[in-house]
Structure 1
């Protein structure tokens, strides 16, 4: 058989698989599309509980760590329950059926409608939490969803999809509102799914994001993280260090919102380092830096055997002393930024790069350079008591989110002390060729009908609009 014929057969098989899933999803969605707000929210609660339920969260966390080797069980349980609880809070406060907004002054009333069938691409880092997070948003809009999981996390995603399907069945709704691509999940079946649905939402590899945007289907993709945070001389150093530690170590740094670099102003460098050590960090001796780099990256790519692993594994791989193995995370000092300096990029591990800056202006410049290298559009943080500095960063730097005095992982994707929407999918704007510059939320899973009625004429004079131009430049 020729290579061309083989490829055609493979594509045909993939299209048949996707078409069957989408057909079943459409049948289920047509039933659910008639639901009122109370029934919709009943479904949202049921789907949320299917993951939040303690024994389910534990089983999924254990399976995810067993299959992927990424993260740790206790934190994955917390992540699943916290994200689901917060997302459910957001969902139940929102109206997504019928009239959802009225502006009498403009004569506009908005009505929410379903999009249809959503295709969700999910990553190996969160094979349980991300599918449910996206399903909640899709269900809130009275849509159906078909999930294409990372092959590495397939068994976890399959388990959580079955939990969601059982939950829907329990309340009398079609199970096929939530489905999963069958194993083995391939690029062909994933591509066929993206082409067959009404909306694609992608979290994971940038290759999948690009495929989604070129699929011919409306798509929402997100970019890579590489979060830098600044500690300035006015910060509460112990508080900043504790927050950075809690955020950096959570689930062994699997989150795209995990800090990857800390930029410390020179005037407080020693105090900040001391506070970070007190919080559980181990400062790697400069002589061991090359060993860290050579082990953490292999052939220009992150070493899959070291990302999201426990400190004991990292310390042994890097040849660090016993004290490092007992620490919570590593600090590695760096001065360079760019392709020749891997530590300036995302590490997905318990390694935090440290930069020393002359002053706040220099720290801001360092952060800008880090973002231009990797993570542009995603987010950054600042630990300070001078809020005007945060405003300066927000005005000047190319990021969607600037977090002030936060444990970044817990604030960036929504928090109970953060006004951002709970999500596991952070848009990075045009800086990373994303179609959204906000946290993915239920609003992205709705079509909106605008009812427009006449209002008193609102037509200014030519003088009102062109007057300043005429006065300065003439007619």
Structure 2
């Protein structure tokens, strides 16, 4: 049964009054103060207020709630997410102008249903002649979480389930281009937590997120851990902060289709993955290296799936639309105006009219083409012909640029699969399916939208956001043998 601060105070006063019935004088009892910072269902104007409220909530969370309470409240979050999934998917497309509604629904359902809760926080024990040792997963405390515009509420839901399952509270600094939908999502999740009996302000966010608020969040001494999902510039900035950091950085995932591959399967799965949510996912297929014996068959089959094959002049025209010179004038960077836009809309800019059912444009280019080396995050997929499997591996490693994020291969040769895995060293490695299967979207295993490649936590879950603590009972205590 939940009892408010006011009810507790009234009970205490009655008890003390009853101790001295002769005078029936109620002593002067200091009032039990409500939290100073209440916010707007978790949404705050100032960093200090958001952190302070989250800090108080986290102390309450670990002091007064059991693990079974965490299970109950996580289930309330899942129910809330399912109730709002269509609404939030529409709002993301409307606010960010990126991606596809139906794919965002699928992403939401994956993180809602397949992000592990407290059940993954297993205790490890060793019993021996020298005593009993247990190691458990303990919270860091307040976590600062920076979320992207590409998966705004999906990341918020995943991080909320994972982080509070580990006993933490969270202050979100969301991407400014998704602040409205994130505020609606956080307020709904906040209400679900409170309605299920959890503490207010276990999750908070800044109403007006900026880079300044990121710096203030990072420097606040009550924030014990920082997490960031986005580009490597952001991740590197967090790493320089001096705090423990979990960073999910950039990708540019290459795919190899070798000479033994089932080209029909490869074309179908690559089309599905590279066009999913207009390719804004960091783990989506970004370039394909096809070994020569299967090259023509692959081109034919991916067109059968619905891809539009660009000719050389159209490729040149599209480079001028989708890319722009970088600041050093030494190469290209993506034109953010076209990130996550539908293929039909992008193609219309160069005079190509296709139905919206065409979800992907493909082009035949050399391995040093900017479409191969620049992570576009739009449904334009470069395809490179390679003479041998060894050449495909070499060029794929160059294209991946050491991000060690995601890669995949279509092959029936186990030796090829093994060699490429060892060479590419990516956090996610998928064989004979689209790369989204590697994060549990159409594949086995739990789901995440925080893929911590740079800092090594990988496919994050509640364990990732916890400290390992050891407790030792010496002299053979509790042993029965």
Q: CA RMSD in A?
A: 2.1
CA distance in 1, matches of 2:342, 2:303: 18
Pairwise CA distance, 1:326: 5.3
1:81 to 97, 109, 116: 109
Q: What residue in structure 2 maps to residue 131 of structure 1?
A: 156
CA distance in 1, matches of 2:261, 2:367: 25
Q: Deviations over 1:427-471 (max 9, x none)?
A: 22xxxxx22252122112112211245699xxxxxxxxxxxxxxx
Comparing both chains, which one has the higher relative contact order based on Cα–Cα distances under 8 Å and sequence gaps of 6 or more?
2
Q: Deviations over 1:196-242 (max 9, x none)?
A: 21111100133321221122321111221101101112212222111
Structure with a larger share of its residues in helix: 1
Q: Aligned pair 1:218/2:218, yes or no?
A: no
Q: Aligned pair 1:335/2:366, yes or no?
A: yes
Give the gaps of 5 or more residues in structure 2: 1-43, 327-332, 477-481
2:294 to 256, 264, 268: 268
Give the gaps of 5 or more residues in structure 1: 1-14, 429-433, 457-475
CA distance in 2, matches of 1:191, 1:426: 22
1:168 to 184, 193, 200: 193
Q: What residue in structure 1 maps to residue 235 of structure 2?
A: 209
Pairwise CA distance, 1:156: 0.8
Q: What residue in structure 2 maps to residue 10 of structure 1?
A: none
Pairwise CA distance, 1:323: 4.5
Q: What SS is found at the alignment partner of 1:319?
A: coil
Q: How does 1:211-250 map to 2 (within 5 A)?
A: 211-250=237-276
Q: Deviations over 1:305-355 (max 9, x none)?
A: 2211112211111332x3576522111111132xx7344321111101101
Q: What residue in structure 1 maps to residue 468 of structure 2?
A: 448
CA distance in 2, matches of 1:201, 1:291: 39
Q: Deviations over 1:172-215 (max 9, x none)?
A: 111200111122x1211111112221111100133321221122
CA distance in 1, matches of 2:475, 2:400: 47
Q: Aligned pair 1:379/2:379, yes or no?
A: no
CA distance in 1, matches of 2:201, 2:420: 46
CA distance in 1, matches of 2:403, 2:143: 27
Q: How does 1:29-428 map to 2 (within 5 A)?
A: 29-34=58-63, 35-53=65-83, 56-87=84-115, 90-91=116-117, 93-95=119-121, 100-104=123-127, 108-183=133-208, 185-196=209-220, 197-300=223-326, 301-320=333-352, 322-323=353-354, 327-337=358-368, 341-372=370-401, 376-409=403-436, 411-415=437-441, 417-419=443-445, 421-428=446-453
Q: Which of these two proteins has the greater Rg computed from alpha carbons?
A: 2
CA distance in 1, matches of 2:410, 2:340: 25
**TM superposition outliers: structure 1 runs of 4+ over 4 Å:** 323-326, 453-456
Contact residue 334 and residue 375 of structure 2 kept, 8 A? no
Q: What SS is found at the alignment partner of 1:243?
A: helix
Pairwise CA distance, 1:92: 5.5
Pairwise CA distance, 1:283: 1.3
Q: What SS is found at the alignment partner of 2:167?
A: coil
Contact residue 195 and residue 216 of structure 1 kept, 8 A? no
Give the number of equivalent residue pairs. 422
Q: Deviations over 1:108-150 (max 9, x none)?
A: 3112221101110001111211111111111101111110000
CA distance in 2, matches of 1:319, 1:66: 25
Task: Pick which of 297-306 and 28-37 moved more.
Answer: 297-306
Contact residue 415 and residue 422 of structure 1 kept, 8 A? yes
Contact residue 206 and residue 223 of structure 1 kept, 8 A? yes
Contact residue 121 and residue 463 of structure 2 kept, 8 A? no
CA distance in 2, matches of 1:16, 1:213: 26
CA distance in 2, matches of 1:21, 1:59: 26
CA distance in 1, matches of 2:354, 2:56: 59
Contact residue 139 and residue 465 of structure 2 kept, 8 A? yes
Q: What residue in structure 2 maps to residue 5 of structure 1?
A: none
Q: What residue in structure 1 maps to residue 9 of structure 2?
A: none
Pairwise CA distance, 1:414: 2.8
Q: Using structure 1 for the length normalisation, give the TM-score.
A: 0.84
